[in-house]
């Protein structure tokens, strides 16, 4: 959570503008973009909630992908 330190500008005794440090503005902008992305992700996820799924192992099998053997470093002395 961002801790804002706004400077409030009044006009005719009423608050009209809030001025914040530029670094706070950038942080706030990033938070808002993250929130917008999260909303889009949640919306897409809800839309696809009934879509059929395939496990990773089933997909690999269907595509003919076999697990790679991990090469072990040689332990022989030089």
Residue 28 lies in a domain: yes
Given a contact cutoff of 8 angstroms between Cβ atoms, the answer to whether 6 and 19 are in contact is yes
CA distances from 18 to 11, 26, 29, 57, 75 (A): 12, 15, 15, 54, 66
Residue 68 lies in a domain: no
Residue 32 lies in a domain: yes
Residue 10 lies in a domain: yes
> Phi and psi (nearest 5°) for 23?
-60, -40
Tens of pLDDT, residue by residue, the chain (78 residues): 778 889 999 999 999 999 999 999 999 999 999 999 999 999 999 998 888 889 999 999 999 988 776 667 766 665
Number of domains in the chain: 1
Distance CA 46, CA 40 (A): 10
Range of the domain at 22: 1-49
């Amino acid at each position: 959570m961002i801790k804002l330190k706004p400077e409030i500008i009044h006009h005719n005794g009423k608050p009209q503008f809030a001025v914040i440090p530029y670094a706070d503005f950038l942080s706030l902008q990033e938070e808002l973009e993250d929130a917008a992305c999260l909303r889009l992700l949640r919306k897409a996820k809800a839309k696809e909630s009934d879509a059929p799924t395939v496990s990773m192992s089933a997909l690999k099998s269907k595509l003919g992908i076999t697990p790679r053997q991990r090469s072990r470093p040689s332990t022989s002395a030089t």
